[in-house]
Structure 1
Amino acid sequence: MNNKWDESYNIKEYRYGETPNLFFKETIDTLLTGKILLPADGEGRNGVYAATRGWSVDAFDQSQQAKEKALRLANKNSVDISYKVMNFEDIAQNYIPDSYDAIALTYVHLPEQLKAKYHRSLLPFLKIGGHIIIEGFSKEHVKHQQQNPLAGGPPHVEMMYSKQEILSIFDSLKIDLLEEIEIELAEGIGHNGKASVIRFIGQKI
Structure 2
Amino acid sequence: MTKEHWNQRFGEEEYAYGKEPNAFIQEMAPQLPAGNMLAIAEGEGRNAVFLASLGHQVTVWDYATEGLKKTKQLAGEKGVQVKTVCLDLNEAPWKEQSWDHIICVFGHFETDLRLHTLKAIEKAVKAGGSFLCEVYSADQLHYQTGGPRDIQMLYRPEELLNTFADWHILHFFMGEVERQEGRLHQGVSHVIQFYGTKRG
Deviation of 1:96 after TM superposition, in Å, equals: 5.0
Contact 1:48 1:73 in 2 (8 A): yes
Deviation of 1:113 after TM superposition, in Å, equals: 2.3
Contact 1:109 1:136 in 2 (8 A): yes
Residue correspondence of structure 1 range 1-205 to structure 2 within 5 A: 2-92=3-93, 97-145=96-144, 151-205=145-199
Aligned partners of 1:70 and 1:114: how far apart in 2? 24
Contact 1:101 1:127 in 2 (8 A): yes
In structure 2, the residue corresponding to 1:122 is in which secondary structure? Answer: helix
Aligned partners of 2:60 and 2:176: how far apart in 1? 28
Letter in 1 for 2:7: D
Aligned partners of 1:97 and 1:204: how far apart in 2? 12
Higher mean C-alpha displacement, 169-178 vs 47-56: 169-178
Pair 1:121–1:96, CA change in 2 (3 A):
closer
Aligned partners of 2:88 and 2:168: how far apart in 1? 27
Deviations along 1:26-78, whole A, 9 cap, x unmatched?
Answer: 11122111111001111000000011111100111010000001000000111
Deviation of 1:17 after TM superposition, in Å, equals: 0.4
Contact 1:103 1:131 in 2 (8 A): yes
Letter in 2 for 1:106: V
Detail structure 1 runs of 4+ shifted over 3 Å in the superposition.
none
Superposed CA RMSD: 1.5
Contact 1:163 1:178 in 2 (8 A): no
Aligned partners of 1:98 and 1:9: how far apart in 2? 32
Aligned partners of 2:28 and 2:91: how far apart in 1? 27
TM (normalized to structure 2)?
Answer: 0.94
Where does the alignment leave 5 or more consecutive residues of structure 2 unmatched?
A: none
Letter in 2 for 1:193: G
Aligned partners of 1:97 and 1:77: how far apart in 2? 32
Where does the alignment leave 5 or more consecutive residues of structure 1 unmatched?
A: 146-150
TM (normalized to structure 1)?
Answer: 0.91
Across the two proteins, how many residue pairs are aligned to each other?
Answer: 198
Aligned partners of 2:59 and 2:185: how far apart in 1? 24
